[in-house]
Chain A
């Protein structure tokens, strides 16, 4: 049990997908203007990422390996992920128009949110079993959501600060992300992995 907890924590904090692994940066920058949106995006990603981890594990171990067609891995994964995302998009569009409007073009972009494919591939690389894959995906998404929310909080405050015109908006957001990632380096070496 505690082993699983450590897996989640380690994935979320020590090897944070965004700040350490450099995955999922576009939505990280794009949808973090508002706390609510960031939270929404985090949850959408959590859903997709967990599901995609599980689906890709099944694909890998039930189709790709038995048939020895590893060269189709990226293709197969991305196809499955795209389907999951598209499905999520349709559900959100139907159930919550406002959330849909807010997440806008980013829902389709979850497909290309590197984090999703990246985590699926890492899952295979780390040779996790099914449960571990699921938790790894969940932990990564948790880490994603965590930094999204922190970052959105910081950006909401930034919007009220008198940042020099040259730096307002994107530049200062990048710099802030850099400092956030600097802070996360403090977790390096924690024995949770």
Chain B
């Protein structure tokens, strides 16, 4: 193939562009309406292409990372030996508008061992912490006993309310093993309110709300226990 004509053509075009790009030429062009419109659109086009490509390249990866994150959270409250399935892909979505968990529908992740539901786990919210909503994730074994609770995010005051984080205090572990059966309804409260859970000195509200939210979570599980366990047996 003969590239020469193409090359000369290209060179010519390049030369033209060069001339066009001369500051003097641009000087004249800049005040023109059409030029302005085109330039803005041009930059928008370039940006869109750039981001489009970047998005294409990263969408999958990001999805993967988010799943990894979630999985890591779930693994914290459901010991690995309790299941042999992939928690992320064994889910049931239940209506939870009445359970006061902070969402109209709650995704329940099922931990199955050999197809039987061994434990469940779900995210929920204590909507009325001291400084705002507190999101939690909780694992419950099939009998309704707590396997673990973790705080995902909160906006409580550093130094006071943030002792609900596992990295700040072991307080959140005190729920392990508790259920609606081994702790009475009245006892689901902080000590100050005649319950069995510790409060933090100077900050009662945060733990109080967390305790009550966890109780609601357990009640939600209890209400749906049958359905959930049944999903396992069916499969």
Contacts and interface: CB of A to CB of B under 8 A. Distances in A.
Nearest to B59: A71
Interface residues of B, number: 6
A71 B58 CA distance: 11
B48 A72 contact: yes
Interface string A59-71: 0000000000001
A101 B137 CA distance: 55
Nearest to B55: A71
Contacts of B48: 72, 75
Interface in A46-80: 71-72, 75, 79
B158 to A, nearest CB: 14
B166 interface: no
A31 B86 CA distance: 56
B7 to A, nearest CB: 38
Contacts of B44: 79
A75 B47 CA distance: 9
Contacts of B160: none
Interface string B37-73: 0000000100110010001000000000000000000
A188 B131 CA distance: 8
Nearest to A83: B40
Nearest to A71: B55
Nearest to B48: A72
Contacts of B131: 188
A15 to B, nearest CB: 10
Interface in B126-146: 131
Contacts of B47: 75
Central interface residue in A71, A75, A79, by most chain B CB within 10 Å: A71
B97 to A, nearest CB: 16
B161 to A, nearest CB: 13
Interface of B: 44, 47-48, 51, 55, 131
Interface of A: 71-72, 75, 79, 188
7 contacts: A71-B51, A71-B55, A72-B48, A75-B47, A75-B51, A79-B44, A188-B131
